[in-house]
Amino acid sequence: MIRHLVVAVALVSAAAHAQSSVGAPVDPQRAERCAVRLAIAFTGKSPDAALLSSGNPQAQVSALLASDAFIERFSRFINSQFNNEPGATSVEDSAYHLTKYVLTNGKEWKDLFLGPYRVATANGQVVVQDDANGLGYFRSPAWLKRYAGNEEQGIKLSTAYRILNNTTGVKLVPSVNAAGVDVSATGREGAGCRGCHYDGWFALDRIASVLTRRKGTGDSMTFEAPTAGPQQLLDGQTISDDKELVTALVNSPNFEFHTCRLAFRFLYGRNELSCEGPIFDRCVDALRTQKTVQAALEAVAVDPSYCQ
């Protein structure tokens, strides 16, 4: 099993939690502040009259999650989290386009990474196409070329990292430009690089070995099938290709943790705090049972503490 991050859980009195959410008199000023906070967080806009006049704005979270404004805002947020900068062209921002599709069509969140889709350009427009050979946005041509990397043998280290980062939130700091660093396959086995490239469950070279290999550059770039054969990756799982890799990552506790951490970043602009462990756990439970990122976000936003 993949080693997973552990959420620090603070002990919260169930009775105190119940008292804060049930039977408390409506405070008009608090309700107004709550409406403003929810509207700005979910849509980036001021609340409409109905939300602003509601005595319980948190009861409107489901409606906010169904709005076009939320779908656009969250899709842009995910794109910013999954890429260091905007793509040179719109189609390179495949995560944005497929997130928008997943939210609009009520798909499970895992479909963003595993669904039978391809993000492509058709008639001058970026579209999400059904593709039986698709793998979320990870096999979309523009995304593959964007993150093919420049490793001299065509080993797609950048692709391997992006898959790990987007699914589980792993963050590694490259040392490619450091003076005297040998970035060849042999050099990456050295003591200074081996930890990220060959050791640990996120070993980039070993994970890249099950991915296709880049051939050529620019418009002439193509991809060849991997030749390394099945590998023991992710703490002992046998992985043969990118689909098995992504499936294993999405089925890991890391995926649930990362999704709920994204929910906190979207709603709070920060990671979760240790005292928010019970709320974080409810977010994970909602994602696990209802399968959608909307359910995960709602679990956080309806908690009384969000509008305190």
* Residue 108 and residue 99 in contact, taking contact as beta carbons nearer than 8 Å: no
Distance CA 165, CA 182 (A): 24
Residues 297, 212, single domain; the answer is no
Residues 237, 198 share a domain: yes
pLDDT at 183: 65
Q: Does residue 241 share a domain with residue 259?
A: no
Residues 278 and 301 in one domain: yes
pLDDT mean over 151-174: 94
- Which of 231, 249, 267 terminates a domain? The answer is 249
Q: What is the pLDDT of residue 184?
A: 74
271 domain residue, yes or no: yes
| Contact partners, residue 291, CB within 8 Å, separation at least 6 | 108, 109, 110
Domain boundary among 66, 98, 117: 66
107 belongs to a structural domain = no
Segments forming the whole domain that contains residue 45: 26-66
pLDDT of residue 26: 67
- Claim to verify: residue 287 and residue 240 sit in the same structural domain: no
Question: How far apart, in whole angstroms, are the C-alpha atoms of residue 245 and residue 82?
Answer: 18
List the structure tokens of 174: 């490259």
Q: Does residue 157 sit in the same domain as residue 243?
A: yes
Tokens of 228: 């390394």
Residue 302 DSSP class: T
Pairing of strands 213-215, 125-130: unpaired
Residues forming beta bridges with residue 127, ordered by sequence position: 120
Mean pLDDT across 154-160: 97
Tokens of 305: 């503490």
For 217, phi then psi, to 5°, come to: -140, 170
Above 70 in pLDDT, residue 5?
Answer: no
Taking the C-alpha atoms of residue 169 and residue 249, their distance in angstroms, rounded to an integer, is 11
- The mean-pLDDT minimum among 13-17, 86-90, 158-162, 237-241 falls in 13-17
Shared domain check, 237 and 164:
yes
Pair 117, 130: CB distance under 8 Å:
yes
Average pLDDT of the chain to the nearest whole number: 90
Q: DSSP character for 135?
A: B
* Residue 116 forms part of a structural domain: no
Band (pLDDT 50/70/90 cuts) for residue 23 is very low
Q: What is the mean pLDDT of residues 103-122?
A: 98
Task: Identify the bridge partners of residue 224 per DSSP, sorted by sequence position.
Answer: 213
Greater confidence, 116 or 175?
116
Asked whether the CA dihedral 55, 276, 74, 167 is positive or negative, the reply is negative
Q: Are residues 194 and 273 in the same domain?
A: no
Confidence of residue 6 (pLDDT cuts 50, 70, 90): very low
CA distance 224 to 241: 12
Q: Does 7 fall in a domain?
A: no
Task: Give the confidence band of 3 by pLDDT, cuts at 50, 70, 90.
Answer: very low
- Looking at residue 4, its pLDDT comes to 42
**Same domain? 196 vs 273:** no
**Residue 143, in any domain of the structure:** no
Q: Specify whether 175 is located in the same domain as 232.
A: yes
Domain count across the chain: 3
In a domain, 108, yes or no: no
Segment among 37-51, 81-95, 177-191 with least mean pLDDT:
177-191
Whole-number Cα distances in Å, 298 to 40, 55, 135, 264, 286: 15, 18, 27, 11, 9
Position 153 pLDDT exceeds 60: yes
Please provide residue 130's backbone torsions phi and psi, each rounded to the nearest 5 degrees: -70, 135
Identify the CA nearest to 52 among candidates 69, 37, 32: 32
Do the domain assignments include residue 123?
Answer: no
| pLDDT over 90 at 263, yes or no | yes
Of 66, 96, 118, at which residue does a domain stop? 66
Comparing CA positions, the residue from 58, 34, 7, 21 lying closest to residue 275 is: 7
- State the DSSP H helix or E strand holding residue 172, giving kind and residue range, or none if neither: none
Closest to 283 (Cα-Cα) out of 251, 258, 246: 258
Portion of the chain with pLDDT greater than 70, in percent:
88
- Judgement on whether residues 244 and 262 belong to the same structural domain of the protein: no
> Do 223 and 274 belong to one domain?
no
